[in-house]
Amino acid sequence: MKTPQQISSELKQFTGSTTLYKHWLGLKYTDGIKYLAEETNCYWLIDAIFSHQTKQFLSNPNLREFQIWHLRVENNSGVLTCEWDTNQEVLRQEIEYTDFPLSHIKLYLVERILMLTSEY
C-alpha cells in the first residue's frame, strides 16, 4: 500500500484525461479520479458526490456547470462539502467512518465530469 505522500505526488501527475469513465448514475469521471478510487479504495466518494446531483441541487444556477468538492479526514471521520465558489458552502455531509488515507482532497465537478483540480 502506498503512503499518503506517494498518492498525493502521483495525483499531481494527472493534467488531463484521455478517457472518461461513465458512472452508473450517468455522470463521468477522469483518469485521475479512476486512479484515486483504485489507489485509495474510495469509489464510495464518487458515489457520494454523484448522489447529490439531483434535479433540485442542479436547479441552482451556481452549481449547474461547476462545483468544488472537499473531503477532509481527521481521526477516521470525514466531512464532505460542496462549494459553488471558494468558501461558499452549499452542502455538508458528515462521514462517520472512513479509511481514506489523505487528510484532504479537493475535486471539481465541471459540466457533469468529476476531475482532479490538476485536470481542470
Number of domains in the chain: 1
Can you give the pLDDT at residue 50?
A: 98
In angstroms, the CA 93 to CA 49 distance is: 10
pTM, 2 dp? 0.95
Spatial neighbors of 83 by CB under 8 A, at least 6 apart, are 67, 68, 69, 70, 89, 90
Work out the pLDDT band at 56, boundaries 50, 70, 90.
confident
Cβ atoms of residues 18 and 120 within 8 Å: no
Does residue 93 carry a pLDDT above 80?
yes
CATH number of the domain where residue 88 is located = 3.10.450
Q: What is the pLDDT of residues 102-120, one digit of tens each?
A: 999 999 999 999 999 999 9
What residue numbers bound the domain in which 25 lies? 4-116
Which pLDDT tens digit goes with each residue over 27-46? 999 999 999 999 999 999 99
Residue 76: predicted pLDDT:
97
